Structure formats: C-alpha cells, structure tokens
C-alpha cells in the first residue's frame, strides 16, 4: 500500500506541476510563433521590399551596384569595323522630332535612314545586306557609340515582345525590372516616332489639298508589311516633288528633342529576360536633350516594382516620356495643324486615330488618350 500511495502522490504532483507550467508553455509557443513571423517579415523585407530599408537585392544600393556593373561591362568602341560580341557595342543618339533630314542630299546620313532590322543585327551583316531604303521624317544624330548607327528601329512589325512591360511573377519582378524599364522607354520612342511621321504626312497631304485616304498606314492591307511604303518613310515617291518641297516647309515646333541610349545587352550578370531584348539590344535610358544628367542610365527605383503596372522611371526619363506621349494627343496635332496653316481639324483627328490604331497594333499593352 505504501508503494501505491507514493506512486499516487508522485502522479498528483506531476499533474499539478504540468498545470502550473501550462502558462509558461503557452508563452513559449507564442514567442516561437512571433519569432517565426518576424523572421518571415525580415526575409520579405530583404528579398522583396528592400527599397524600404535599403538592404538586399531590392535596395537602391544594390540597384546602383547592378547599374555600375553594367556600365563597366559596356566597353567603348575600339575602332573595329564590326562590334565585338562581348557587349562593347552601344550607341547614344539625339532624335529631333522637329526637323526633317536633308532629303535632297545625294548621300543620306545612315542615322537618318531606317530599316526594320535592329541596328546590331544590321551591323553584323552590313556587307551582306542591302542598305536600308527608308528615310526617317525626323533627324537622328549619333552622339557616341559603335562603328555605324542606324538609330533605334521604328515602325516595327506587330507581335514583337520587346514592348512588353507587364509585371512578371512575384519572385522574378526584381530580375526583369530593368528590362521592363527598357521596354517602356522603347515603347515611348516608338509612339513618338510613328506619331510624328503620321502627323507630318497628314499636314503635307492636307496642304496639298489631297485626301488623307492617300496616306498609306502601316496597317493598310494594300501596303503589306513594308513600312517603306507607308507614312513611316519621308520619301515614299522620290518623283513627287510637290510632296517633297512641302515636307520641308512643315514645322513641328513643339515636338521634343530627346537623347536615347541603345545598347547590346547580353544578359549581363545574369540580369535580363531574353524575350524583352530587341535582337540583344535594348534602350538603356532616355532624356530630353536640354535636361539630361542621369537619364541615360537605368536609374531604377524599386519603390513601385511590386505592384505598379508600369515599371518606374527616373524623373528625367519621365519628363522625356511625357513629352513623347504628348505627340499622340489631339491637342498636339491641332496645335501643329494651326502652326502650319491647316484648318481641317476633322481630317487631322481622323488620321491621328488611324495612326493610333497602327501604334496600338504594334505596342499592344498601352492605351492612348482619345
């Protein structure tokens, strides 16, 4: 009986101790849960929203390091006739949407010509390819870079991927953020280039009292897919002297002058999405020509990476974008018409809408003001 009594006492004491320690166990479990949550939050801050505390792969310091690494990788042109394959080819252009190239010249500057083939691919095959035949209705000047620039291609065929600015998955947005920025700036240039070309063609046609139906658009079924036979080309018919002479009189006083940096980007340091590159080329930065200190660098901010539909641009890049997209608006077209003594605003807006349709087919994921 004594042994049974002792066992009972020990069991009772153990039960009492168990219930006495129950609050401490609850506190310990609660602290474990709290520590787990804190750890997850720290991981999230480090890996996803590091721009808040400036740590980790999404911090501004890390982005600056990535940009500096890319800058070091971009070698200056060394004088070869063909750019090397290790990423040395890069170009900086000044694009003046106000001015028409010298279309009377017997030698048209290569930068004032255009071809739907990306510039890098053209350089590598220039001795086997026929030269581009289209003349841009705006002036492009090469400021620095590789052996032969043709500017950034424009009036490109539809269904390309390098205009895609849609966010990726939650975990890879940081990896493709820079390429999404490049796609956004590339899209802005395409909008300005196409719309300035269409606007100039519209003004010339109306000043000559011709119907705007005579203007061939990129989406016109009668023109196929050759942009050289559309408003993209400043000289569709070299024998139409009236058209050429009138073209030289057109003034687009409020059109912007931009600088644009176009680089060969071979997935440097593992950063990049191949489907967002234009034949291994992409836009590295844009800015207005008279306000350009840091705009030609990526200058990314991570503050809007997670939830923004559009990838964030720097202030200088945003200013250039605003000026270029203004060329899609009714107000810009009507102002240009008035400056060039064209009063048929209905016809002007009809052609603007047609040009917007062309542009929408090309860039797909942007909505322009009606």
On whether residue 306 sits in a domain, the answer given is yes
CA–CA gap between residue 28 and residue 218 (Å, rounded): 70
Residue 231 · residue 217 · CB < 8 Å:
yes
CA–CA gap between residue 338 and residue 336 (Å, rounded): 5
CA–CA gap between residue 39 and residue 45 (Å, rounded): 10
Token code pair at residue 141: 């000047």
Compute the average pLDDT of residues 282-302. Answer: 77
What is the tally of structural domains in the chain? 1
On whether residue 39 sits in a domain, the answer given is no
On whether residue 17 sits in a domain, the answer given is no
On whether residue 6 sits in a domain, the answer given is no
- Helices 173-207 and 330-339 pack at an angle, to 10 degrees, of 30
* Mean pLDDT rounded to a whole number for the chain: 76
355: Cβ contacts below 8 Å, ≥ 6 apart: 194, 195, 198, 199, 217, 231
Q: State whether the Cα torsion 93-261-277-266 is positive or negative.
A: positive
* Cα 7 to Cα 17, 18, 321, distances in angstroms: 15, 16, 84
Half-sphere exposure of 201 (CA within 13 A, CB side): 30
* Cα 96 to Cα 69, 100, 151, 287, distances in angstroms: 31, 8, 12, 12
Q: Which of 56, 37, 36 minimizes the C-alpha distance to 45? A: 56
Among 19-23, 119-123, 281-285, which range has the highest average pLDDT? Answer: 281-285
Q: Which of 132, 147, 136, 135 minimizes the C-alpha distance to 264? A: 147
Confidence of residue 346 (pLDDT cuts 50, 70, 90): very high
Q: Which domain holds residue 235?
A: 79-363
Residue 198 · residue 362 · CB < 8 Å:
no
Task: Specify the pLDDT at position 230.
Answer: 86
On whether residue 132 sits in a domain, the answer given is yes
- Percent of residues in the chain assigned helix, strand, coil, to nearest 5: 45, 10, 45
CA–CA gap between residue 323 and residue 188 (Å, rounded): 10
On whether residue 177 sits in a domain, the answer given is yes
Token code pair at residue 121: 């691919």
Q: Which of 325, 324, 351 minimizes the C-alpha distance to 96? A: 324
Terminal CA-CA length for the chain: 98
Dihedral of the CA atoms 305, 282, 289, 189 (nearest 10)? -80
- Residue 46 confidence (pLDDT) above 90: no
CA–CA gap between residue 121 and residue 144 (Å, rounded): 18
Which of 59-68, 93-102, 231-240, 297-306 comes out lowest in average pLDDT?
Answer: 297-306
Task: Specify the pLDDT at position 365.
Answer: 58
Token code pair at residue 89: 């080819």
* Total-model pTM: 0.77
On whether residue 298 sits in a domain, the answer given is yes
On whether residue 90 sits in a domain, the answer given is yes
Token code pair at residue 155: 């009036």
Which is more confidently placed, 159 or 349?
Answer: 349
Task: Specify the pLDDT at position 203.
Answer: 95
């Amino acid at each position: 009986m004594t042994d049974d009594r002792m066992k009972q006492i020990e069991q009772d004491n153990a039960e009492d101790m168990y219930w006495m320690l129950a609050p401490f166990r609850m506190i310990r479990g609660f602290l474990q849960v709290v520590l787990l949550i804190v750890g997850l939050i720290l991981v999230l801050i480090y890996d996803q929203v590091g721009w808040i505390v400036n740590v980790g792969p999404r911090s501004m310091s890390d982005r600056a390091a990535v940009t500096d690494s890319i800058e070091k990788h971009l070698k200056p042109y060394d004088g070869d006739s063909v750019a090397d394959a290790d990423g040395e080819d890069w170009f900086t252009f000044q694009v003046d949407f106000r001015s028409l190239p010298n279309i009377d010249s017997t030698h048209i500057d290569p930068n004032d010509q255009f071809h739907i083939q990306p510039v890098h691919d053209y350089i590598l095959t220039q001795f086997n390819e026929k030269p581009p035949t289209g003349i841009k209705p705006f002036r492009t000047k090469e400021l620095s870079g590789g052996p032969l620039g043709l500017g950034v291609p424009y009036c490109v065929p539809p269904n390309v991927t390098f205009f895609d600015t849609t966010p990726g998955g939650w975990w890879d947005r940081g990896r493709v953020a820079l390429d999404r920025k490049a796609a956004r700036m590339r899209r802005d240039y395409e909008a300005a280039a196409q719309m300035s070309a269409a606007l100039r063609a519209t003004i010339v046609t109306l000043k000559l009292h011709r119907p705007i139906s005579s203007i061939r658009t990129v989406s016109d079924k009668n023109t196929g897919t050759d942009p050289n036979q559309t408003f993209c080309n400043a000289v569709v018919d070299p024998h139409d002297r009236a058209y050429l002479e009138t073209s030289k009189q057109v003034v687009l006083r409020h059109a912007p002058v931009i600088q644009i940096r176009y680089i060969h980007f071979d997935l440097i340091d593992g950063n990049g999405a191949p489907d967002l590159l234009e034949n291994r080329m992409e836009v590295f930065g844009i800015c207005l020509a008279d306000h350009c200190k840091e705009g030609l660098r990526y200058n990314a901010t991570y503050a809007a990476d997670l939830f923004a539909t559009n990838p964030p641009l720097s202030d200088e890049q945003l200013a250039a974008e605003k000026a270029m997209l203004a060329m899609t608006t009714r107000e810009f077209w009507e102002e240009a018409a008035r400056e060039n003594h064209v009063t048929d605003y209905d016809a002007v807006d009809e052609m603007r809408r047609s040009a917007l349709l062309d542009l929408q087919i090309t860039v797909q994921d942007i909505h322009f003001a009606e």
